[in-house]
Amino acid sequence: MKSLALVSASIASFALCSAKTITLPRDASPQVLAAEALAGPMAAVKRAFPNSPSGGYAPKQVDCPANRPTIREATSLSPNETAWLELRRNHTLDPMTSWLSRMNISNFDATSYMNGIRNNVSALPNIGLAVSGGGYRALMNGAGFLAAADNRTNNATNRGQIGGLLQSATYVAGLSGGGWLVGSIYTNNFSSVQDLRDGSKGSSVWQFGNSIFEGPASNGIQILSTANYFSTIQDEVSSKEDAGYNTSITDYWGRALSYQLVNATNGGPSYTFSSIALEPNFQSGSIPMPFLVSDGRAPGTSIVSLNSTVYEFSPFELGSWDPTTYAFAPLQYVGSNFSAGLVPSDGSCVEGFDQAGFVMGTSSTLFNQFLLQINTTAIPQTLRDIFTRLLTDLGEDSNDIAQWQPNPFYKYNNATNRNAESQQLTLVDGGEDGQNIPLYPLLQPMRNVDVIFAVDSSADTTYNWPNGTSLVATYQRSLNNTIENGTAFPSIPDQNTFVNLGLNNRPTFFGCNASNLTGPAPLVVYLPNAPYIAFSNVSTFDPEYNDTQRNAIIRNGYEVATLANGTLDAQWPACMACAVLSRSFDRTGTTVPDECTQCFNRYCWNGTVDSTPVEGNYTPAFKAGEVNLSAASSVSRTVTMSVSVSAMAATVLML
């Protein structure tokens, strides 16, 4: 066995050899312009836009457009999404054809098949990707999957790799920690995981070695010194209050989070989530559409249950398909004073309320608890006093909320809308209803998603591994005819079955036989977090990771996505392609290739149930031989990672 020093040296050498020097763009201050002159052509790349009319964190009144903003009923896709889809579906054709061909299904000509249906939109496969919540664990594990699926990642299109799946997808959804990943990628101009991981000099993006309690560690020109970190956040949130808007702990959480996720000065306080729709690569349909998911909490309650209203954020809209709210608001104007679906003729329009960090924070309000750990952190006394006041005003049971006030759905759908009489729309962490994988936007029948790759980094067990709880919750919700509203979902076994049959420790397909489903449900490819080359089951509330830990967990997620670069199953890429094509085969009456039949026999849940209670604490074994590596973090906290020598050799080509 290699010594610890030798293994550490191997890791360091691997990181240096594989890391790609990336210079990400920054705001155009004089200092930044000077730095960009030295940074090279990457400085010309644009991100989402700092288009808040206030120039900062606060929303601001603007002149209403000629066609005043309105709330639309959820009877169809928005006109914006419908028009965008026409562009996006065309942009997925060539990447998907290339990807399917490289996945190499035996005795099947993927190129000929795709060319034969390329003019028939209803026959084309439609792919969605979903990344669960789970704090930084979910961000890093999900990042590994997206890196594996991205053809921009070094060597991700080599034999046994799955790069190009991301380029073939129509939609990408994130929730809580997975929402941080999706939000960070999109607010940074659809940057690759590789670029965000490697960062640029002076950038605090994806630098998790300093927690949000400490602020960014670098003294580079892009970010503030630690001494000014909290006072700057306090000033920004105060500007929103001074403009006449209520604030909650989520405002502070979202601002702190942005320093790590948005590559702009002070975490980009003037960047909005709706500005993603203005990015040229999004407008052209060149990249998938992102969604973030939150739950609604009924006024005066502290309980979020499976029949709670689920809300989705897209670059175009905020709203819900549920029969309760059943409406969507234009995200750009969400801060406007809507009433009964309209901004009154004498009312003003507002922009900038959908600040990017606030949207990401809304999807992850559970992590307000980070900021409430005030007795064990270096948070200044003035900020502690503010939190105390907020908790006094809102009540201790409301420490996990995001306040969206004015409520865009005020006096709308009065008969069913639980918030119709409330001036405030109260949103909370999207996983609080148990649906920790953001499947909701991808299950809507009007989006016609065929296959969902569901990356699950949930902490369902004692040692923070998933056991299928999220899929169980979504399945149970699909059986509730008071809330499901036409959505269908494959049958899912109980959590004990997941563990007893190992369904939570390897990829599993659910819904393979479309004829057995109650409606047009997608095939779900379940990809649970498991230990391939690293202990990736870190605590949901662990606030900091050094670069070695971060990179190891990202790389473990890569191994999950590729089944250890195909070493655990050389057919895995072909099986992924079979899952993508399955519903298309059904619609076109195409004979399923023999290799796909083999894949479905291997990976599809066949209905077997073993509900025997699981004894002891679930502790999965590593997928390969183990070499222990103890890496001390910047605060002298030790974590043990397990890396097999063979897996390390294989991953030298990756990331």
- Tens of pLDDT, residue by residue over 276-334, are 999 999 999 999 999 999 999 876 666 688 889 999 999 999 999 999 999 999 999 99
Residue 629 has pLDDT above 80, yes or no: no
Residue 465 has pLDDT above 80, yes or no: yes
Which of 3-7, 88-92, 178-182, 297-301 is least confident? 3-7
Domain ranges of the chain: 4-146+164-461+510-577+587-651
The pLDDT of residue 541 is 83
Q: Which residues contact 634 (CB under 8 A, 6 or more apart)?
A: 209, 210, 217, 544, 546
Average the pLDDT over 33-60 and give the result.
62
Residue 643 has pLDDT above 80, yes or no: no
CA distance 606 to 393: 52
Q: Pick the residue with more confidence: 370 or 104?
A: 104
- In angstroms, the Cα distances linking 136 to 177, 256, 358 are 6, 14, 17
Which of 45-49, 89-93, 178-182, 223-227 is least confident? 223-227
Which of 190-204, 214-228, 427-441 is least confident? 214-228
Residue 347 has pLDDT above 70, yes or no: yes
What's the CA dihedral at 201, 206, 210, 212 to 10 degrees? 120
The pLDDT of residue 46 is 45
The pLDDT of residue 391 is 54
- DSSP structural state of residue 272: B
Which of 193-202, 234-243, 381-390 is least confident? 381-390
Q: Pick the residue with more confidence: 366 or 493?
A: 493
The pLDDT of residue 199 is 85
Residue 457 has pLDDT above 50, yes or no: yes
- Name the burial class of residue 396, with classes exposed (0-12), middle (13-18) and buried (19+) by CB atoms within 10 angstroms of its CB: exposed
Average the pLDDT over 262-269 and give the result.
92
- Are the C-beta atoms of 140 and 550 separated by less than 8 Å? yes
Q: Pick the residue with more confidence: 583 or 347?
A: 583
The pLDDT of residue 650 is 35
Q: Pick the residue with more confidence: 265 or 152?
A: 152
The pLDDT of residue 68 is 94
CA distance 256 to 630: 29
Residue 47 banded pLDDT, cuts 50, 70, 90: low
Residue 631 has pLDDT above 60, yes or no: no
Residue 392 has pLDDT above 80, yes or no: no
Average the pLDDT over 136-152 and give the result.
98
Residue 379 banded pLDDT, cuts 50, 70, 90: low
Residue 190 has pLDDT above 50, yes or no: yes
Residue 213 banded pLDDT, cuts 50, 70, 90: confident
Write out pLDDT tens, residues 615-624: 999 999 888 6
Which of 41-45, 224-228, 495-499, 548-552 is least confident? 41-45
Residue 36 has pLDDT above 80, yes or no: no
Tokens of 590: 């195409």
The pLDDT of residue 346 is 87
The pLDDT of residue 641 is 30
The pLDDT of residue 371 is 57
Q: Pick the residue with more confidence: 243 or 655?
A: 243
The pLDDT of residue 647 is 37
The pLDDT of residue 215 is 81
Residue 382 banded pLDDT, cuts 50, 70, 90: low
Residue 229 banded pLDDT, cuts 50, 70, 90: confident
Average the pLDDT over 535-548 and give the result.
90
Percent of the chain with pLDDT over 70: 80
The pLDDT of residue 204 is 85
Tokens of 429: 């962490």
Average the pLDDT over 69-88 and give the result.
98
The pLDDT of residue 401 is 81
Q: Pick the residue with more confidence: 539 or 7?
A: 539
The pLDDT of residue 555 is 95
What's the CA dihedral at 422, 425, 431, 432 to 10 degrees? -30
Average pLDDT of the chain is 84
pTM: 0.88
CA distance 89 to 117: 12
Average the pLDDT over 249-263 and give the result.
92
Average the pLDDT over 111-130 and give the result.
96
Which of 79-88, 98-107, 222-231, 318-327 is least confident? 222-231
- Are the C-beta atoms of 276 and 282 separated by less than 8 Å? yes
The pLDDT of residue 218 is 59
- Are the C-beta atoms of 604 and 503 separated by less than 8 Å? no
Residue 369 banded pLDDT, cuts 50, 70, 90: low
Q: Which residues pair with 604 in a beta bridge?
A: 509
- In angstroms, the Cα distances linking 170 to 89, 173, 452 are 7, 10, 11
Residue 386 banded pLDDT, cuts 50, 70, 90: low
Average the pLDDT over 490-500 and give the result.
97
CA distance 126 to 171: 9
Residue 396 has pLDDT above 60, yes or no: no
Q: Pick the residue with more confidence: 653 or 57?
A: 57
Q: Which residues pair with 452 in a beta bridge?
A: 128, 524
Residue 628 banded pLDDT, cuts 50, 70, 90: very low
Tell me which CATH homologous superfamily contains domain 4-146+164-461+510-577+587-651: Cytosolic phospholipase A2 catalytic domain (3.40.1090.10)
Residue 24 has pLDDT above 80, yes or no: no
Average the pLDDT over 8-19 and give the result.
34
Tokens of 485: 């509203």
